Structure 1
Amino acid sequence: MSKNLATQASKDGQPWDKLTVKNNKGQLVRVLSPNTYRGFDNKNGNAFNGYWEPYVNQVYSKYSNGNNLLLYTSAGTSSCSVTNNQLNCYGDNQGYPKPSSADIFSCNTGPFGNITQYNNQHQQNVPILCSAFVRSMLLVSGSQPAGPVSQYYQNTPTNWYSYYAHNASFSGVGYAFQFEEPTPAGAQEQWGTIHAQNAALVDFIVGGFGWGGYAPGQYA
């Protein structure tokens, strides 16, 4: 993953390579999300500034010219369109001004923040909207959540950390950003939930598969 991020950094000039954390032996110990990196020790707050803004402008332009964005939620279908640079959705009591790069990487600031203050439709819309931005799907489909999963992260700009995190994870699933949950009908869940009706044993691996202290069932 670290090599892939370094290659991406050389392509677009963004600090993807800085997300990797190594020990004093030069061994990789962690890969930070862009959101975590931006807030890390309060030193990198300007990282990725301006990254998503051209894409956001394209999205808002698309949905301001008679093209509606449909959000399929458990609260019902919400049809959205842009007026005066704000996305407004049917049944949602709060509009969405253009998000910044920081808003998209965090999914909990700007138009995606303080969602519990607003109505149920808004609370259902926010995860779908932000996940569609992170996966770069809003110019691909006017109905969200959209799929198949193979289309995620295929358009630039995108969240390359999430893309490579999923590539490196077991079965391609895992929680790479807030609001991974939105999934189109019939598509593989991306957020890595585990369901078991009558579980008898759960093994947790801490430190990765190379750590020698793990014995299956030892702490059950």
Structure 2
Amino acid sequence: MWFRTRLSALAGALLSASVSVLPANAQQPAAVPATIPLTITNNSGRTGAVYIYNLGTNLATGQQGWADAAGTFHAWPAGGNPPTPAPDASIQGPASGQSTTIRLPKFSGRVYFSYGQKLVFKLTTGGLVQPAVQNPSDPNRNILFNWSEYTLNDGGLWINSTQVDTFSAPYAVSVNGNTTGHLKPGGYNAVYNSLRNTGWGGLIQTAPDGSVLRALSPLYGVETGALPANAMDDYINRVWSKYTSETLTVTPFGDGTKYFGRVAGNVMNFTNSSGAIVTSFQKPDSASVFGCFKLLDAPNDQVRGPISRTLCAAYNRSTLLTNPNQPDPNSTNFYQDAVTNQYAKTIHTQMIDGRAYAFAFDDVGNHESLVHDANPQQSALTLDPLS
């Protein structure tokens, strides 16, 4: 799979297209071209080479591969076991203060960028091996890099600024001038300082010279021991206690459909308006909350998945104790408990528009850093200052 399991909601959002019914005499939207321009502007202030990669799945064929600067698709060759080196898919990026334009094809994929060094990609018999910097032996561990996820299809372009896996070299994205992802002035360093001040500084990875490379997501923090495995347990326990005697109402859609949750023993059962149990959740652990998976698994269905998405967002935002009706529509209520996702809190705080993809279901309530246009003419990725 191109997207990891815990990013399935994001992948679904990127791959979906809005459906509307137009009057018979209405002008039909223009067909989305086979490729559109992506202008990459280097405002990082950092000297040295920048390398760009456009990797993903060809939506016409389902093949995995890469696109060159002109947007021409190249399928990956067969991989091996152990993994074999992938072809060099790098595109020379812009120097500081300059811009480079490439073409995006109809892909579901990622645009990577790296500073100073090319990224190392390998191929297994199952496809491309993505960088996994939570692994200290990953060959990309000491390279400063980041990526944006996008889908271009007949429904238009969806492109995001994501921090689901890591917070690293900052950037913003735009489609037809609609932009998201810019940090406040000084926001890059402010994120790291906030993590240190809240006791989450163990998430920060540095290069051999001591320079900061990134902060791992709290899920990776738990998995690597950089964050205590019980980081959210106190909050989870209080939620479990509250809904033993109270009802949690989840309204995951805009159509008024409601589900009602009550805890009995180690299980939270959800019923529909007829009183029938439609799904149940065991008491989650911190990893399940941070990763929106495992005990908060969200299948691509119309019942359990939407309930789980809502629960996961509410746990990460710490709104379940203050509001028994979820999702909470008021972002001023988010992250107010002493036990909360400090990583997500500080990233949202430092974004100019307050929007971020700090965990997999940050799109609940439309708080994610994602832009979409059904008629994309221009897109952009801006590399922002590392300060």
Using structure 2 for the length normalisation, give the TM-score.
0.46
Aligned counterparts of 1:150 and 1:114: Cα–Cα separation in 2: 26
Residue 160 (structure 1) aligns with:
342
Shift of 1:57: 1.6
- Residue in 1 that maps onto 2:58: none
Please name the residue that 2:214 is paired with: 30
Question: Does residue 1:121 correspond to 2:307, yes or no?
Answer: no
1:88 to 256, 269, 272: 269
Residue 368 of structure 2 is aligned with which of 191, 208, 215? Answer: 191
Are 1:6 and 2:196 an aligned pair? Answer: yes
For structure 2, list consecutive stretches of 5 or more residues without a partner in the other structure: 1-190
Amino acid corresponding to residue 202 of structure 2 in structure 1: K
Amino acid at match of 2:362: E
Instruction: Name the residue aligned to 1:201.
Output: 378
Q: Which residue of structure 1 aligns with residue 283 of structure 2?
A: 98
RMSD: 2.0
- Confirm or deny that 1:47 pairs with 2:47: no
Instruction: Identify the residue that residue 141 of structure 2 maps to in structure 1.
Output: none
TM-score normalised to structure 1 length: 0.79
Answer with 1 or 2: which has the greater Rg. 2
Judge conservation of contact 2:235–2:339 (CA < 8 Å) in 1: yes
Q: Percent identity?
A: 25
Unaligned runs of 5+ in 1: 10-15, 184-188, 212-220
Any residues of structure 2 matched to 1:164-175 within 5 Å, and which? 164-175=346-357
Count of aligned pairs between the two proteins: 190
The higher relative CO (CA closer than 8 Å, separation ≥ 6) is in 2
Aligned to 1:57: 237
Call closer, same or farther: CA 1:145–1:114 in 2, change over 3 Å: closer
Which amino acid letter does the alignment assign opposite residue 248 of structure 2? L
Cα distance, 1:194 vs. partner?
Answer: 0.8
Residues 298 and 309, structure 2, Cα contact 8 Å, conserved in 1: no
1: distance between equivalents of 2:336 and 2:192? 19
Q: Does 1:210 align with 2:385?
A: yes
CA distance in 2, matches of 1:210, 1:114: 36
Say which structure is richer in helix: 1
